Amino acid sequence: MTVTDTEFNGQFGYEIIRDHVMPDILGKHEADILYWAGKSLARKFPLFSLDEAPDFFRQANFGELSLDRTSKDEIVFQLTPPKADQRCFKLEAGFLAQQKQKIDGFVTEAHEEVFPKKNRVLITLKWDLRDKA
């Protein structure tokens, strides 16, 4: 990839670090480290409600986040990132899991499903109402 191959904007530097530098540095541990980094990031930038998450995602250039569906022990968000191919979304999943855990007080975990052809990611948060954080 060269600068002429991509539209030049403020996103370019972020993409270099996120898509090329981080995977090289983290290697096979990339997913685990990014998940815990997302949880740490959530503790540094706490939200009062998950309703604030779409604005945070937009400001952080993570992409457009919207609520897909919810139940008593699960929330599914849809993320439309700047690009979904060849990228790990554990950072975003960890961030949302930690925010939900902090807000509601139940241990919360997240996983993501990437749909590169649709440029879409589903992030599912699950918690157990019997497992207080």
What is the rounded CA–CA span in Å between residue 13 and residue 2? Answer: 12
Q: What is the pLDDT of residues 39-60, one digit of tens each?
A: 999 999 999 999 999 999 999 9
Helix, coil or strand: residue 87: coil
Helix, coil or strand: residue 85: coil
Q: Does position 127 have pLDDT exceeding 70, yes or no?
A: yes
pLDDT band for position 9 (50/70/90)?
Answer: low
Domain 3-132: top CATH class: alpha beta
Token readout for 122 is 């589903």
Q: Tell me, what's the pLDDT at 13?
A: 81
Q: Tell me, what's the pLDDT at 58?
A: 95
- Domain parsing of the chain, residue ranges: 3-132
What is the rounded CA–CA span in Å between residue 13 and residue 26? Answer: 18
End-to-end alpha carbon distance in the chain: 44
